[in-house]
Structure 1
C-alpha cells in the first residue's frame, strides 16, 4: 500500500506542477507570481518530477511551438507525423534538449517572458540529480515493497513526466470527443478528467489557449484550475483578467 501511495503522490504531484507551472504559467502565462514564488515552484517541480524533471524554459518554448505548428511537420510532437508514440516522444526529447541547452535558434515569439533559472536547471536536469532520484526510489521500493507486482510500478516513477506527455500529446490527438471543430486533431480525453487534472481537455485548450480553465461544459471539471482559483484568492498568484473569462 505504501508503494501505491508513493506512485499516486508522484503522479498527481508531478502532474500538478507540470500543468500549473510548466504549462499554464511558463508556456501560456495565464497568471503571474512573485520571483520568490517562481523560484519555489521550480524547486517543487523538481521535488515531484524527480528523475524526469522538465525545465520551464525548454517546456514553455516547445509547447508554444506545438500550438503554433499543431499537426504540421514543425510540430514537436504530433501523431500525424510520427509512426508510433515512442518515435514521437524520442523526437520530442531531442527537440526539448536542443531548445533547453540552446543548441538551436528559436524565434523570439516563443521565448518572450518564459521563466528561466539556468543554474538550478543545470543541476536539476543533470545526470547526478537524476541518478540520485533513481537511487532514492529504488531504496524506497526495496524497503516498502510488499508484493512482487509493485516492482512493475518502479519504471513509472522514473518516467512520470514522459508518461504524462504521451497521454496528452499522443492519445489526446487520437481518442476522445471534440467540443470545437478545428484544423487539428486535438480531442478531450475525458468528460470528467480525474486522471490528468484538467490536461485531458485538450480540444478545449487548443481552442482557448490563453484560458486558465480548460473545462468548458458543466461536467468538465478542471481540478488544476480549482487549485489556481484558491491560490489566486489567497494572493499567492494573480490570475490575468483574460484567464477568468467564461
Structure 2
C-alpha cells in the first residue's frame, strides 16, 4: 500500500501543452512593460537586487541544497530557502530538485530531459519544462525532502511565493518597482538560469572527464552566481562550491560560507584533495600542450623566412 510520503503530488497535472505555451509567453512578454516606466538608477538597483536574491534561491537552495544536499541547515531556514527559490518562478522546489537529479543520472543521454547535444538548444534552454510529460515527478527521487509536509505544500502551491513577492514590490514602490523588480528581473533571471542547461553544455572548457558535455564558463558563472563552473559540478556534484579554486568566482558559495560563520548553515561539503589535485594536473597538462603547439607553429614559420633568402 502506498504511504503518504511515497505518493506523487505533482505541481500541475494533465494540462494541455498549448496552455503552458500561452501562459509562458504571456509572462515572458511582461518584460516589455519596461517601456511604460522612465528609467532611474533606483529602479535599476531594485532589479539587480531582485535578480541576485532569487538567483541565490535557485543556485544555493533549489540546486545545491535540495538537489544535491551539499550542506545542512535548520528546518526553518530550509523552508526560507525553498520560499526564496520559489520566488524565482521556476516551479516547485521538489519538482525542480527531482528532475535535476534525473538530469545528472542520465546527463547527455537520450533519457536526459534537457541535453542540447541530443535535443537542441531551445528545447534544452526552456521548452522542455513546458512539455506535459514533465509536469509530474517521482517522489522516490527526492525522499530526503519529500517527507516534510511544509515543502510538499509549497511545492504544490509554488505560485504563492512569486505572487507575494510581486505584491510586496508594488506595495513598497508602486508600478515602477513591480516592472523592474519583477517583470524585468524575472525575465533575465529565467534566461540566465536556463543557460546552464543549454550554453554550459556547449561553450567553455572541460577540465574533468565527466562523461558528458558539461563545460566551465567564467561569464556564465558571473551571471549565475557560480553555476557556470558546470564541468566541475558534473564531475563532483555534491560539493557546495562549484568554483573549486580561489580564482573561480562563486558568489553563492561565498554567501553560504558567510552564513556558516554564524551557524545558519553547516557541514558544507567540499571537493576532496584528490579531485583538486587532479584538476590542477589537468590544467598544467593543458597549458603544456598549448605551449608546445605554439612552439611547433612558430618554428616552421621561422624556417620559411630563412629559406626565402
Fold agreement, TM-score > 0.5? yes
Distance 1:91 1:230 in 2: 35
- Alignment partner, residue 106 of structure 2: 69
Give the direction of change, closer, same or farther, for the CA distance of 1:138–1:163 in structure 2 (3 Å limit).
farther
- Alignment partner, residue 241 of structure 2: 213
| Match runs of 1:1-246 below 5 Å | 1-46=41-86, 48-49=87-88, 52-86=89-123, 88-94=125-131, 96-99=134-137, 106=138, 108=140, 110-115=141-146, 117-125=151-159, 142-143=175-176, 155-190=183-218, 193-240=221-268, 242-243=269-270, 245-246=272-273
Instruction: Report how far residue 197 of structure 1 moved.
Output: 1.1
- Is contact 1:11–1:160 with CA below 8 Å preserved after alignment? yes
Distance 2:270 2:236 in 1: 10
Instruction: Report how far residue 175 of structure 1 moved.
Output: 0.6
Give the direction of change, closer, same or farther, for the CA distance of 1:164–1:58 in structure 2 (3 Å limit).
farther
Instruction: Report how far residue 144 of structure 1 moved.
Output: 6.2
Distance 2:180 2:177 in 1: 14
Instruction: Report how far residue 191 of structure 1 moved.
Output: 7.0
Give the direction of change, closer, same or farther, for the CA distance of 1:201–1:37 in structure 2 (3 Å limit).
same
Instruction: Report how far residue 201 of structure 1 moved.
Output: 0.3
- Is contact 1:58–1:96 with CA below 8 Å preserved after alignment? no
- The DSSP-based 3-state class of the residue aligned with 1:193 is helix
- The DSSP-based 3-state class of the residue aligned with 2:46 is helix
Distance 1:9 1:235 in 2: 24
- TM-score between the two structures when normalised by the length of structure 2: 0.64
Instruction: Report how far residue 178 of structure 1 moved.
Output: 1.6
- Alignment partner, residue 148 of structure 1: none
Question: Residue by residue, what CA displacement relative to the aligned partner does 1:58-79 show, whole Å, maximum 9, x if unpaired?
Answer: 1111111111000011111110
Distance 1:229 1:207 in 2: 22
Instruction: Report how far residue 30 of structure 1 moved.
Output: 1.0
Q: Which structure carries more helix by proportion? A: 2
Question: Residue by residue, what CA displacement relative to the aligned partner does 1:185-226 show, whole Å, maximum 9, x if unpaired?
Answer: 100111793221110100100011111111123411222111
Instruction: Report how far residue 23 of structure 1 moved.
Output: 0.6
- Is contact 2:125–2:195 with CA below 8 Å preserved after alignment? no
Question: Residue by residue, what CA displacement relative to the aligned partner does 1:167-186 show, whole Å, maximum 9, x if unpaired?
Answer: 11101011111211332110
Give the direction of change, closer, same or farther, for the CA distance of 1:40–1:118 in structure 2 (3 Å limit).
same
Instruction: Report how far residue 120 of structure 1 moved.
Output: 2.5
Give the direction of change, closer, same or farther, for the CA distance of 1:19–1:158 in structure 2 (3 Å limit).
closer
Instruction: Report how far residue 160 of structure 1 moved.
Output: 4.8
Instruction: Report how far residue 122 of structure 1 moved.
Output: 2.9
Give the direction of change, closer, same or farther, for the CA distance of 1:216–1:45 in structure 2 (3 Å limit).
closer
**Cα-Cα RMSD:** 3.0
Unaligned stretches of 5+ in structure 1? 100-105, 146-150
